[in-house]
Amino acid sequence: MSAARPLPRLAPSLLLLFACAAGLSVANVYYAQPLLDALAADLHISTAWIGAVVAATQVGSVAALLWLVPLGDRMERRQLMALQTTALVVALLCVAVAGTATALLLGMLAVGLLGTAMTQGLIAYAAAAASSHERGRVVGAAQAGVVIGLLLARVVAGVVADLAGWRAVYLLSAALMVGAGVLLWRHLPRLPVPQRSPRLSLTALLRHTPVLRQRGVLGLLMFAAFGLFWSSMALPLSAPPFGLGHTAIGAFALVGLLGALAAARSGHWTDRGHAGRVTLGALLLLLLSWWPLSALHAGLGWLVLGVLLLDLAIQALHVTNQSLILAAAPQAQAQAIAAYMLFYAAGSGLGALAGSALYAAHGWGAVCLAGGAVSALALGAFLRRS
């Protein structure tokens, strides 16, 4: 009897390319956050209005999820990626040379639009290029690249801006995206356009894809918990008795790199049929994370432990959600991932608004109590469906 032929796997070099390109793409959406003071001073934007820069990128991100990401189900993906990369480079150059607040905001809107479209498009592209038996592993690796790009964007932006000014950040990113675009064009596989992939409304997609409904609700709740924490963490850390500066506070985000490394493993377990166990474990971990986070007053070591648990839980659940949704909608993967990310955006936004409001009104304990409640609600929603 001949030995069973091993199942085909996506080449490691191609998987690395997907992860790196996704990380570079998403970083563009977040470069501006540590640069707001420099942008305000250079372009004479008041402190009250400088937050519009971040808002513009987020508006662009939502627009991308609604209109650009779903194009991956109707166009040849390699050609679409080339067009989006070229447009993103142009947008980055426009930001780099912006001379007025209006020009900057328009440029940031375009960067948010195209950076998000490329990021989510690459995840859907990777899933489409992978065989069904390794889809979770591939999505996990691509998502790890996204998380690393998101976390390092703020660090890189701060260092480059200190050395050469904020405009150099966007010039450097434009150069990096040119290099990434060339590699993507040369090495991405040509995939057939799905035969039947009409543009579906969000309502129709939710109606016909139960997994999207269920995992979308979990995504909304887990990212609401995530937003509660990250929107308010800097407030107690910058106040007495800690009195930490921006660089020290930002360094806590690097703990999240461990969560990114764990993401690929959760995808591997999902491929092996353990999605339910991964989900249950992640939700329990998410609920548990609020205990050390609530002990911040006892020392920063508790915060490090809490951040580690929180991010491990979020990334494991996020990768599992994406893997199951992409498997459930093989003819509309780009539309499905865009719909799921709308749940993510809604949860993150609601959590961010609630976090700062709760801290201002009732302190850090109220933030942790709300985070635990939302996490328990997510666990209950999952157990109810199991």
pLDDT the model gives residue 373: 98
CA atoms within 13 A on the CB side of 258: 13
Handedness of CA 328, 330, 332, 338 (dihedral sign): positive
Residue from 184, 158, 140, 55 nearest 312 by CA? 140
CA atoms within 13 A on the CB side of 225: 33
- Alpha-carbon distances of 370 from 292, 335, 357, 362, 375, rounded to whole Å: 14, 32, 11, 11, 9
Mean pLDDT, rounded, for 221-234: 86
Measured between alpha carbons, how far is 139 from 120 in angstroms, rounded to an integer? 11
Q: How confident is the model at residue 325 (pLDDT cuts 50, 70, 90)?
A: very high
pLDDT the model gives residue 167: 96
Q: How confident is the model at residue 4 (pLDDT cuts 50, 70, 90)?
A: very low
User: From the centroid of its chain, how far is CA 49?
Assistant: 25
Least confident window among 46-55, 295-304, 308-317: 46-55
Task: Give pLDDT tens digits for 52-109.
Answer: 887 788 889 889 988 899 888 888 999 999 999 999 999 999 999 999 999 999 999 9
Looking at the chain, the whole-number percentage of residues with pLDDT higher than 70 is: 91
Q: How confident is the model at residue 196 (pLDDT cuts 50, 70, 90)?
A: low
Least confident window among 135-144, 176-185, 247-256: 247-256
pLDDT the model gives residue 2: 42
Least confident window among 2-6, 142-146, 216-220: 2-6
Task: Name the more confident of 180 and 346.
Answer: 180
Measured between alpha carbons, how far is 339 from 361 in angstroms, rounded to an integer? 34
Handedness of CA 304, 322, 157, 32 (dihedral sign): negative
pLDDT the model gives residue 3: 45
Measured between alpha carbons, how far is 234 from 357 in angstroms, rounded to an integer? 13
pLDDT the model gives residue 90: 98
pLDDT the model gives residue 93: 98
pLDDT the model gives residue 200: 63
In the predicted model, what is the mean pLDDT of the chain?
87
pLDDT the model gives residue 153: 87
Measured between alpha carbons, how far is 215 from 264 in angstroms, rounded to an integer? 18
Give the largest CA-CA distance in the chain: 76
Task: Give pLDDT tens digits for 149-182.
Answer: 988 887 888 888 888 999 999 999 999 999 999 9
Whether 215 shows a pLDDT value over 80: the answer reads yes
Q: How confident is the model at residue 28 (pLDDT cuts 50, 70, 90)?
A: very high
Whether 291 shows a pLDDT value over 90: the answer reads yes
Task: Name the more confident of 10 and 168.
Answer: 168
Q: Are 51 and 101 in contact (CB under 8 A)?
A: no
Looking at the chain, the whole-number percentage of residues with pLDDT higher than 90 is: 45
Whether 260 shows a pLDDT value over 70: the answer reads no
